[in-house]
Amino acid sequence: MPRLVVSARRIAASVVHGLHGRRRSGTGENFWQFRRFNSGEPGSRIDWRRSARGDNLFVREHEWEAAHTVWLWIDTSSSMAYRSSLAEDSKAERAVIIGLALADLLVRGGERVGILGLGAPTASRRAIEVLAQRLASAPAGSGLPMAHALAPLEEGVLIGDFLAPEDEIAETVRTLSNRGARGHLLSISDPVEETFPFSGRTEFLDPEGAQRITLGRPQDLRAGYAARLQAHREAVDAAAAASLWSSGRHRTDNPATGALLALHAQLGAPVEGARL
Amino acid sequence: MSALPFAFLSPWLLAGLIVLPALYFLLRMVPPRPRSVHFPPLRLLLDIRSEESAARTPWWLILLRLGMAALIILALAAPILNPAPPVAPGSGPVALLVETGWASAPDWPQRVEAIESEIIRAETAGRPVALLDLGGGPSDLSITTPAGAREVLRTLAPRPDTSRPADHLDRITAFVREHAATEIVWFTSGLEARGGRAFAEGLAGIGNDSRVAVRVPARTTRALAGADNTPDALTVRVLRGESAAGESGSVRAFDLRGRPLGDTVFTFPDGDLQTTARFELPLELRNDIARLELADGRSAGGVQMLDERWRRRAVGLISGATADTAQPLLSPVYYLSRALEPFADVRNAAGGSASESVSTFVEDGVSVIAMADVGTLTPDAHDRLLAWVDNGGMLIRFAGSRLAAAEEDDLVPVRLRRGGRVLGGALAWSTPQGLGAFPPGSPFAGLPVAEEIKVNRQVLAEPSPDLAERTWAVLSDGTPLVTHRRQGTGTLVLFHVTADTVWSNLPISGVFVDMLRRTVALSGDAGTADATAEAGETAPATLAPTRTLDGTGAFRAPPPYAKPVPATGLPVADRDHPPGIYGPPDGFVAVNALEADAALARLDLDGLGVEVRSYVAAEPEPLAPWLMTAAFLALLADTILVLLLSGRMPRLRRAGATAALLAGAFLFHPVPGHAQEDKEMGAALTTRLAYVVTGDAEIDRISKAGLEGLTFELAARTAFEPGEPVGIDPARDELAFFPVIYWPVSESATTPPAETLARVDAYMKRGGSIIFDTRDAPFASTAGAANGALRRILAGLDVPELQQITPEHVLTKSFYLMSGFPGRFNEGPLWVEAQPTAEEQESGEADLVSSGDGVSPILITSNDLAGAWAADDQGRPLLPTVPSDPRQRELAYRAGINIVMYALTGNYKADQVHLPALLERLGQ
């Protein structure tokens, strides 16, 4: 875990900090815009300095900076512990790195970050350490989060391999977004899981279950497997889109920074059709 | 003996072969285990493919594994090829009859092994053993314990003479009559010599329940006999006992000091029992040959020694003219010596009168005396000369004015007319006569008749009935030109012309040389002893043995039983006169193991009812290691196949390419021939030190650094500036360029093959010196040369007698005055070739043993000289001396300089000792 913490901090520091604020007027410190005073508003809102320069009354609006809770969920099931010889980290390690780095970025941006099912969210500057400790002490979970609806203004970030059956994934996402919470799915995969480079007589074991299969010529199945994987991914994307969630992919042989940037941008960007 | 030369030590283990069918089914059911991997998206995989049916093991894999199991079972059953024959039934004693003649020498170790295994068999069966040396004197066959028999066996060695088994037959018969059921094993050399067949028949007919087995070698010994120094070549007959297929070998020739002079190849045609090896060498070299030996299969019979009888003749020249010295190039002696030199040892009269010269030559024992125009001799000299001719000397006389004028000369073959005959002179009608055809019975028959020879004057023989048969050459008109007469056992020859060109131009023609060559070749064996004995001096009638051969054909000090031989020599060696050299070095007589017309025959044992076995086939060889190796290889193949089947060798193709590349690299490895040439050129152009590359990197590094250090010191302190030292491989490199070779020998060093040792031996014989350094002085025993590797190497070399260095030795004063020769260690002595003692020097025997300009061909130390000399680039020593003492390192350098100077200057330094005496003598 210490290695992951260091690595998460390094990656978080490499992401340009500056995407914070809600890009909407609201309670906050920073100036957002002047607007004409509407009758019926409290007079104390009038910005007299601005209004004195003209004939109209203006109200100074501040950018809305309400603290926002982002719920992280990191898949710690045993299938995530897989690492092939082509990858640098196991999937779980990569998920933790991305998750903690994201948490650090968000906390620095003023958000509150928590881990689903592991205590209250925190806004501490030491969010990485706090969350890492919670993760380290948590028992191994299953392939999907415990589904309960998030509050409307909360956001969920699910990081995992999403190899569970498609309908279970769809059900989980639907439940989480039941009250209008937005979210993002980041599926992490090992390169071997995509390219399926096996040949010769091979016995495949499921790390989570007792299932196994022995194939005489697995190279013959390569095309079929690729098609099946593609279908699964499209189903996951569809499940996310149905709840207006976004989804992304990351392969463990790519640097973690790219996935982190994409994720962070997704979180900041207003979603088409969002109710906020 | 079973039908097959094959047996199992634990045959019950073969029952394990029953499980093979069961193994077959088991293997068939269990396919090779697949590679097992974790794969998280297994569910996706399951969606497209259901569980695969269990695979069957391929049939060839089953076959391989079954074969492997069978091999292991067979190996555990301990099969043995050529099993030792089972212990013979019977309780009587085992009588081992061992031939120890020279014919047993080449394969003596195999014989000893065979005899030992026979003793072990008897020991196992609890039977008593009797061992008899058939080569020894008659002795009783008596029963001993196996240990006693081994003791006797250890004392046996091949003898230089031929075993006479028949001499022992009576005693063996008596023994067998005494002990029933005796098993007789006769270890024969396989040659039918001295009644072998009769002996075998006798053995087979003894009876009394005895059984007879004969051990015969597959290939009998080859031998040399009947060397002959013909005008064209030195020939020697090579004999063999069996008329086998054609084979070839080589014969080597050595001079008296053991230096190789040449070798030649002989080839037995198919089925022939003898062939001839020819040495077509220049006559001077041929006459130096003192010893011929077969290159392989060393035995006393394979050695032929040559003495004076095989040499060119010594010819004494006497001229009647005293004024000849005024114009030496026109004197008859000059023509004669030029004509005789190519094939004869020409000795000129030391001066004084012809009579004195005659006495000198007769005393010297020359074979031929040529007298050019000598008239009368003093009566004393005349008598001597006549007695000498009677005894076998050959007197060749040339006519001349003095001869023609002499009265009553009986030292001529025919009666001569007084005055002679002049042809073609100013007052004669006749013309100069040419040479006529040589008569058929003449030794000159067959020589070309040269047209250009003209005889102007000659002396004429009185006609007599026997003139024609005494005539060897005639003029074209039929008058005798060369006549001869037997006188006693010697011959008188007269050329009816002068030895110079006054009477004819015969002496300047090539025919003259050929005529003299053939004449001299006819000269009898006027041995030294005869001549001197006749001359009334006290000469021994017998010659004592000087060096004799042992059974393997090596020179040894004569055994105590060796008796002197008559001065005329013996045609063949016998038990009391072993083959070897008899008499003083400058007049020795050689006695050979085989007579000149000897022949070898293989022992014929057909139809005798005896068991005949070979020597070597009795070697039992366990086969289990081979079977186990095969099983292991099968296991390897199985592993690779399983890996291939389970797809765990995806890089096989790349590995194959790598292997092919490697093989190609080996195939196309550049041949270092050019480098070799360069190296030899470099070695020849600059004198340099050399060390033998041992293959041990550390030793070689120290050798190189050591010689570099010594080279530096030599250049700094002496006039000798050697080149960069080189490492050499005695098997490949030419050694002749190096004055000294440093050869570090570690305990673990491998012994070079025989050919390499032969090269080293030749190097030592031709004057090179080798420093053997065992580098183990602190650990060696005081005996020196305790190093086993060194002993093995020296066993293959002809090492002279050694001694520890004495304070008088030249090495102690060849540059520095040294009292010891330390290297890194100080304890070890330095061994050099033993110097001849004062008596030997006086007797002249020293010449026989020493060679190489007095430089010892071998120096043995254990002081690690190179270790002390070794220095790095800055001249700092690499290794400490023991004890650590800078003075010792300085002494080590001095020792090295002394050794190099000794090898380079030879006996120069030794002679310098006598310099004051020589100067003093010159001054007077």
Whether residue B593 lies inside any domain: the answer is: no
Q: Which residue has the higher pLDDT, B578 or B284?
A: B578
Q: Which residue has the higher pLDDT, B615 or A157?
A: A157
CATH value at residue B215: 3.40.50.410
Q: Give the distance from residue A120's alpha carbon to the nearest chain B alpha carbon, in angstroms.
A: 32
Torsion sign (Cα): A227, A232, A234, A235: positive
Can you tell me the distance from the alpha carbon of B337 to that of B500, in angstroms, rounded to the nearest whole number?
Answer: 11
Is the confidence at residue B562, as pLDDT, over 80? Answer: yes
Mean pLDDT of A128-153: 79
**Percent above pLDDT 70 for chain B:** 84
Residue A47 CA: distances (Å) to CA of A27, A28, A57, A60, A62: 15, 16, 8, 6, 12
Whether residue B652 lies inside any domain: the answer is: yes
Residues B802, B783 share a domain: yes
Residue numbers in B near A198 (CB within 8 A): 37, 647
Q: Give the pLDDT band of residue B707 (cuts 50, 70, 90).
A: very high
Q: Choose the weakest-confidence range: A250-264, B196-210, B861-875.
A: B196-210
Mean pLDDT of A11-37: 67
The chain-wide mean pLDDT, for chain B, equals 79
With CB atoms and an 8 Å threshold, state whether A229 touches B44: yes
Stretch (H or E) spanning A205: strand A202-205
With CB atoms and an 8 Å threshold, state whether B647 touches A224: no
What's the predicted TM-score (pTM) here? 0.45
With CB atoms and an 8 Å threshold, state whether B48 touches A228: yes
Q: Residue A65: what pLDDT?
A: 60
pLDDT tens digits for range B722-740: 988 989 988 888 888 888 9
pLDDT tens digits for range B226-264: 887 776 778 888 888 877 777 888 888 888 877 888 888
Q: Residue B529: what pLDDT?
A: 36
CB-based contact A32:A62 (threshold 8 Å): yes
Q: Choose the weakest-confidence range: A17-21, A22-26, B564-568, B575-579.
A: A17-21
Residues B261, B340 share a domain: no
Q: Residue B287: what pLDDT?
A: 77
Q: At what angle do helices B169-178 and B196-204 cross, to 10 degrees?
A: 10
Q: Is the ipTM of this complex over 0.90?
A: no
Q: Give the pLDDT band of residue B616 (cuts 50, 70, 90).
A: low
Q: Choose the weakest-confidence range: A201-215, B66-80, B90-104, B678-692.
A: A201-215
Check if B538 contacts A (Cβ < 8 Å): no
For testing contact with chain B, the best of A193, A201, A211, A249 (most B CBs within 10 A): A201
With CB atoms and an 8 Å threshold, state whether B34 touches A214: yes
With CB atoms and an 8 Å threshold, state whether B51 touches A82: no
Residues B744, B696 share a domain: yes
Q: Residue B25: what pLDDT?
A: 78
CATH value at residue B414: 3.40.50.880
Whether residue B483 lies inside any domain: the answer is: yes
Residue numbers in B near A214 (CB within 8 A): 34, 51-52
Length of chain A as a residue count: 276
Residues B203, B323 share a domain: no
CB-based contact B821:B784 (threshold 8 Å): no
Across the A:B interface, residue pairs with CB atoms under 8 Å apart total 96
Residue numbers in A near B42 (CB within 8 A): 204-206, 209, 211-213
Q: Give the pLDDT band of residue B127 (cuts 50, 70, 90).
A: confident
Residues B197, B226 share a domain: no
Mean pLDDT of B423-450: 79
Is the confidence at residue A123, as pLDDT, over 80? Answer: no
Torsion of CA A63, A67, A69, A74, to 10 degrees: 90
With CB atoms and an 8 Å threshold, state whether B41 touches A163: yes
Check if A210 contacts B (Cβ < 8 Å): no
Give residue B578's identity as a one-letter amino acid code.
P
Check if B653 contacts A (Cβ < 8 Å): no
Is the confidence at residue B374, as pLDDT, over 70? Answer: yes
Whether residue B460 lies inside any domain: the answer is: yes
Question: Which residues 627-646 on chain B approach chain A with CB closer than 8 angstroms?
Answer: 645-646
With CB atoms and an 8 Å threshold, state whether A228 touches B38: no
Q: Choose the weakest-confidence range: A130-144, B12-26, B59-73, B643-657.
A: B643-657
Whether residue B37 lies inside any domain: the answer is: no
Strands B740-744 and B688-692: parallel
Q: Give the distance from residue A14's alpha carbon to the nearest chain B alpha carbon, in angstroms.
A: 31
Q: Give the pLDDT band of residue A267 (cuts 50, 70, 90).
A: confident
Residues B413, B392 share a domain: yes
CATH value at residue B572: 2.60.40
Q: Residue B55: what pLDDT?
A: 57
Q: Where are the beta strands (DSSP E) in B412-479?
A: 421-422, 457-458, 471-474
With CB atoms and an 8 Å threshold, state whether B41 touches A229: yes
Q: Give the pLDDT band of residue B716 (cuts 50, 70, 90).
A: very high
Q: Give the distance from residue B48's alpha carbon to the nearest chain A alpha carbon, in angstroms.
A: 7
Give residue B120's identity as a one-letter amino acid code.
I
Per DSSP, chain B holds a count of helices (H) and strands (E) of 27, 39
Residues B778, B832 share a domain: yes
Residues B432, B531 share a domain: yes
Can you tell me the distance from the alpha carbon of A259 to that of A20, in angstroms, rounded to the nearest whole number?
Answer: 18
Q: Give the pLDDT band of residue B520 (cuts 50, 70, 90).
A: confident
CA B203 to centroid of chain Cα atoms: 37
With CB atoms and an 8 Å threshold, state whether A205 touches B39: yes
Whether residue B462 lies inside any domain: the answer is: yes
Is the confidence at residue A46, as pLDDT, over 70? Answer: yes
Q: Give the distance from residue A203's alpha carbon to the nearest chain B alpha carbon, in angstroms.
A: 5
Where does a domain end: B614, B634, B652? Answer: B614
First to last CA, chain B: 88
Assign 3-state DSSP to chain B and report helix, strand, coil percentages, each to 5: 35, 20, 45
Question: Which residues 22-61 on chain B approach chain A with CB closer than 8 angstroms?
Answer: 32, 34-49, 51-52, 55
Q: Residue B618: what pLDDT?
A: 55
**Percent above pLDDT 90 for chain A:** 3
Structurally, chain B folds into a number of domains equal to 5
Residues B278, B204 share a domain: no
Check if B914 contacts A (Cβ < 8 Å): no
For testing contact with chain A, the best of B30, B36, B38 (most A CBs within 10 A): B38
Mean pLDDT of A89-101: 88
Q: Give the distance from residue B53's alpha carbon to the nearest chain A alpha carbon, in angstroms.
A: 8
With CB atoms and an 8 Å threshold, state whether A221 touches B49: yes
CB-based contact B391:B534 (threshold 8 Å): yes
Q: Give the pLDDT band of residue B647 (cuts 50, 70, 90).
A: low
Is the confidence at residue B402, as pLDDT, over 60? Answer: yes
Q: Choose the weakest-confidence range: A207-211, B188-192, B650-654, B848-852.
A: B848-852
Torsion sign (Cα): A134, A137, A143, A146: negative
Mean pLDDT of B554-581: 82
Check if B668 contacts A (Cβ < 8 Å): no
Whether residue B380 lies inside any domain: the answer is: yes
Q: Residue A234: what pLDDT?
A: 92
Check if A226 contacts B (Cβ < 8 Å): no
Residue numbers in A near B46 (CB within 8 A): 211, 213
Q: Residue B890: what pLDDT?
A: 92
Can you tell me the distance from the alpha carbon of A243 to that of A234, in angstroms, rounded to the nearest whole number?
Answer: 15
Whether residue B863 lies inside any domain: the answer is: yes
Q: Residue B895: what pLDDT?
A: 92
With CB atoms and an 8 Å threshold, state whether A202 touches B648: no
Q: Residue B662: what pLDDT?
A: 66
Residue numbers in B near A232 (CB within 8 A): 44
Which residue in A has a C-alpha nearest to residue B35's C-alpha? A202
Residues B122, B25 share a domain: no
Candidates A29, A36, A121; CA nearest to A70 is A121
CB-based contact A236:A230 (threshold 8 Å): no
CATH value at residue B691: 3.40.50.12140
Query: Where in the sequence is the domain holding B78, given as residue range(s)?
Result: 2-31+54-83+624-668
Residues B790, B721 share a domain: yes
Residues B478, B346 share a domain: yes
Q: Give the pLDDT band of residue B537 (cuts 50, 70, 90).
A: very low
